[in-house]
Amino acid sequence: MEYRILGKTGLRVSLMGFGGIPIQRVSENEAVKITQLAIAKGINFFDSARGYTDSENKIGKGIKGRRNELILATKSMARTYEKMKEDIDKSLKAFDTDYIDLYQCHNVRSDQELNSVLGPDGALLALQEAQKAGKIRHIGLTGHKPPMVEEAIRKGVFETIQVPYNFIERSAEEELLPLARQMELGIIVMKPLAGGAFSRPDLALKFLLNRDVSAIIPGMDSLEQVEQNAGLTEKIEPLEQSDLDCLEKEKNEVGERFCRRCEYCKPCPQGVDITTSFLFHGYFKRYGLPEWARERYQALKVKNDACEECGLCETRCPYNLPIREMLKEVHRDLG
């Protein structure tokens, strides 16, 4: 495993980190096994969030007895002092630890939200107080919109950023990543697999392993995924031209309008499994498995035609996807 310094924090983190979203889908026993295998394979950087249901709790159980060897990160959507203070204590309890290495303001999307975080009664004050009290060690920020994250970086109060970056989504290369490096911020890459858009995830991850970033955090919910992802770091080699051609082909096929499976759109009031239906549609459109995709879609308890077009999902989507329109497309093809 290769380790890099997480910017000005000075923390030494594994280049291949552990993203905490998918672990919500597995049992506690399985989650513990997955987490423990990750540690055995040299992964020392674990990232979760208050919004990831029981992810913090499961990771906490998996790292029990190894806490001081690891770098633990989490995040909260809280924008006010009181709510962030409350969430920090909830995270500490869920992880069953007395300190968290990196606590991040999660998914800051607008000037209004950033101003709330930085205001006199904002979330930053709670983070700074927790830092002084030894509850957290470092303060970071996550966001999906490069211009917004750039504005936050210029405030000079954050030590790390966490942003989407992969072979398809490369807008961060233009100004965001150079600015972060100039400011000596740790760079954490989320959505490295573009929400499952790549048929060759190994190539997508190899692309990032060769970039100047601090850590990559693909989500993992199986022992096989841990083995495969950790194995890629044993000997980091540049991509061959044929590999780049393969990634470029997939980039052109996917385009910009696709689900990253961040699951922020959930839950749907009507019970529509939005992200799963989009996943099946990807197999229908890109991977040449139309019958397989139809069978899986038909097995869903609630189909997309149950959508009442309330639009709640679209207000939550950090990528401003036209989800209602996309749900109709899926049902036309697979319903």
What is the tens place of the pLDDT at every residue in 55-106? 999 999 999 999 999 999 999 999 999 999 999 999 999 999 999 999 999 9
- Shared domain check, 95 and 16: yes
Q: Which of 151, 187, 240 has the alpha carbon at shortest distance from 7? A: 187
Which pLDDT score, from 0 to 100, does residue 266 have? Answer: 85
As for how many domains the chain has, the answer is: 2
Q: Which of 138, 132, 47 has the alpha carbon at shortest distance from 101? A: 138
- Shared domain check, 179 and 291: no
Which pLDDT score, from 0 to 100, does residue 158 have? Answer: 96
Residue 294 has pLDDT above 70, yes or no: yes
- Shared domain check, 298 and 236: no
- Shared domain check, 171 and 288: no
Site of tokens 């992964």: 43
Q: Tell me the percentage of the chain whose pLDDT exceeds 70.
A: 97
- Shared domain check, 63 and 128: yes
The CA-to-CA distance between both ends of the chain, in Å, stands at 45
- Shared domain check, 282 and 220: no
Q: With cut-offs at 50, 70 and 90, classify the pLDDT of residue 310.
A: very high
What digits encode the pLDDT tens for the residues 131-161? 999 999 999 999 888 888 999 999 999 999 9
Residue 282 has pLDDT above 80, yes or no: no
What is the average per-residue pLDDT within 41-68? 93
Provide the mean pLDDT of the chain: 91
Which pLDDT score, from 0 to 100, does residue 288 have? Answer: 64
Which pLDDT score, from 0 to 100, does residue 191 have? Answer: 86
Residue 317 has pLDDT above 70, yes or no: yes
User: Cα(155)–Cα(119) distance, rounded to whole angstroms?
Assistant: 12
Q: With cut-offs at 50, 70 and 90, classify the pLDDT of residue 306.
A: very high
What is the C-alpha R_g of the chain? 20
Note whether residue 142 is domain-resident. yes
Q: With cut-offs at 50, 70 and 90, classify the pLDDT of residue 287.
A: low
Note whether residue 207 is domain-resident. yes
- Shared domain check, 182 and 33: yes
With b meaning 16 or more CB within 10 Å and e meaning fewer, what string describes 306-325?
ebeeeeebbeebbbebebbe
Note whether residue 252 is domain-resident. no
Which pLDDT score, from 0 to 100, does residue 264 have? Answer: 81
Q: With cut-offs at 50, 70 and 90, classify the pLDDT of residue 283.
A: low
Domain hosting 95: range is 3-247
Residue 124 vs residues 75, 88, 106, 244: alpha-carbon distances, Å: 12, 12, 12, 41
